[in-house]
Amino acid sequence: MKASTKILFSLLAAAPLSALAQEAAAVVENAPAVVHHGQHFGLSDSIWLGIFMSTATLFTVIILTINTTIRNLAETSRLWRPNKSAMLIFALLASQMAFAQGADVKAPEVFSLSDTAFWAMAAAVSFLAVFTILQLGVLRGLTKKIAGIESTEPVYVEGVRKETAMTKLWDVLNGHVAIEKEKDIMLDHNYDGIRELDNQLPPWWKYGFYLTIVIGVIYLIHYHVTHTGLTQKEEYLAEVEQAEADVAAYLLASALNVDESTVTFDPTDARVADGKNIFVGKCKVCHGEYGQGGVGPNLTDAYWINGGGISNVFKTVKYGVPAKGMQSWKATLSPTQIQNVATFILTLEGTNPADAKAPQGDLYVKEGEATETPEAPAPTPADSTITAGLEPTL
């Protein structure tokens, strides 16, 4: 491969990693203090996805490059072909564009990677790494053979195996016994001239089995004796508890964002009880303890000065009526508290408390109800002792 081509691919391969670093910095800057679900080993899933994609792309480029090089060495032709180069450049540019779009990620919870997908991608990247190493070994051996550095004689010559570092490692892992040493492990049993070898289990299998026993003991102590780890059931219950807390937080945030355009009439016991406490503490001075009216209007009839219904009552409590002497409560009460007291006020309609103040304002008719206006009460004479056509008696 030419030096200029190597430089080009180095720059293209570094571009996704640079975008990944930018994303990681943005996530760290905006990440919360606690680790949420959707993170593995302290890193967000979006970062892990970037690592897997960039690593897999890099290994794919290396594998294709080695594959082309091996083929061209076998054909004793050029070490690079233009069509492969164009394909690899396209793959790296596509990877870079993907990271450029992901660089604007501001929160680690934007992308969620399940545990199954995480380990599957990790296994895929590991397979690509192993395959790359094997291909590099083939390329190294082929290059040495072509250059005449290494002899081309077969591994087995006249029944004697050629000793290499790989064969020695293989023998150690499998507990291989050379043919000339088989007499040392020969058993005394003789079955019609057939002798038996006392071959041991391969060390990799035997010590792997011992390792599983050790892991099993540690697992038992960790989860069922000391209880320092969560079992699957406990993890499930913890996740359910976290989900309920998240739902409660969401509902609380939604309640705090309520206003006159989104408020709803919800006469649940808890809401009405809270509204009553607020009303008694802040509103009874002007409207009476039972809403019968005083300085302020009667709140138990169907007549409203500033409009009835939950939206209008919420707005009146929130902004007040400065012209009539009613203060604004938005700086004192939260939106949820205003909704609660407005709900309680609407539940007072029709209670008919003693000494109720005369109706004021306009009749409010709810949607779907009859719009017939009841007859207004007859005006009271200025002096009931004066009879029409007669003068008072002195």
Mean model confidence pLDDT for the chain = 74
φ/ψ bin of 281: left (φ > 0), alpha (ψ from -120 to 50), beta (otherwise):
alpha
DSSP symbol at 159: T
Higher pLDDT, residue 332 or 256: 332
Give exposure, 55-81, as e/b (b: 16+ Cβ within 10 Å).
bbbbbbbbbbbbebbbeeeeeeeeeee
Return the closest-CA partner of residue 45 out of 37, 55, 33: 37
Which pLDDT does position 182 carry in this prediction? 81
Residue-level pLDDT at 244: 92
Residue with tokens 């005449």: 148
Q: How many CB atoms lie within 10 A of CB 31?
A: 19
**Percent of the residues in the chain that have a pLDDT greater than 70, as a whole number:** 68
The Cα angle at residue 257 between residues 316 and 245, in degrees rounded to 5: 135
Q: What is the C-alpha separation between 388 and 374, in angstroms, rounded? A: 28
- Domain definitions of the chain by residue range: 3-147, 156-197, 269-363
Q: Give the Cα separation of 230 and 237 in Å (integer).
A: 10
| Residue 186 parent element (H or E) | strand 186-191
Q: Are 111 and 45 in contact (CB under 8 A)?
A: yes
Do residues 236 and 242 touch, judged by C-beta distance below 8 A?
Answer: no
CB 32 within 8 A of CB 111: no
Cα separation, 278 vs 344, in Å, equals 9
Beta carbons within 10 angstroms of residue 329's beta carbon = 19
Helical (H) or strand (E) element with 39: strand 39-40
Non-local (6+) Cβ contacts of 313 within 8 A are 304, 307, 342, 345, 346
User: Quick check: 382 pLDDT over 80?
Assistant: no
**162-186 mean pLDDT:** 80
Least confident stretch, 23-27, 44-48, 57-61, 233-237: 23-27
Which residue type does 337 have?
Q
Residue 82 pLDDT: 41
**pLDDT: which is higher, 293 or 161:** 293
Count of Cβ atoms closer than 10 Å to residue 22 Cβ: 16
Percent of the chain scoring above 90 in pLDDT: 22
Residue 78's pLDDT is what?
44
CA distance 251 to 248: 5
Using alpha carbons only, how large is the chain's radius of gyration in Å? 42
Higher pLDDT, 388 or 97: 97
CA distances from 105 to 31, 278, 352 (A): 11, 44, 59
Superfamily of 269-363 according to CATH: Cytochrome c-like domain (1.10.760.10)
pTM comes to: 0.37
Q: How far apart are alpha carbons 309 and 280 in whole angstroms? A: 21
β-sheet bridge partners, residue 186 = 197
Which helix (H) or strand (E) segment holds residue 53: the answer is helix 45-74
Phi-psi region of 382 (alpha: psi -120 to 50; beta: other; left: phi over 0): alpha
pLDDT tens readout for residues 316-362: 999 999 888 899 998 899 888 999 999 999 999 999 998 889 999 89
pLDDT in tens, 83-129: 455 455 545 555 554 444 444 444 444 456 677 888 888 888 888 88
Which residues are within 8 A (CB) of 128 and not within 5 positions of it... i.e. 6 or more apart? Answer: 55, 56, 59, 60, 63
Please name the residue ranges forming H helices in 257-287: 269-282, 284-287
- CA-CA distances (angstroms) from residue 188 to 109, 177, 179, 192? 68, 18, 18, 13
Residues 318/329, Cβ–Cβ less than 8 Å: yes
| Residue 137 pLDDT | 79
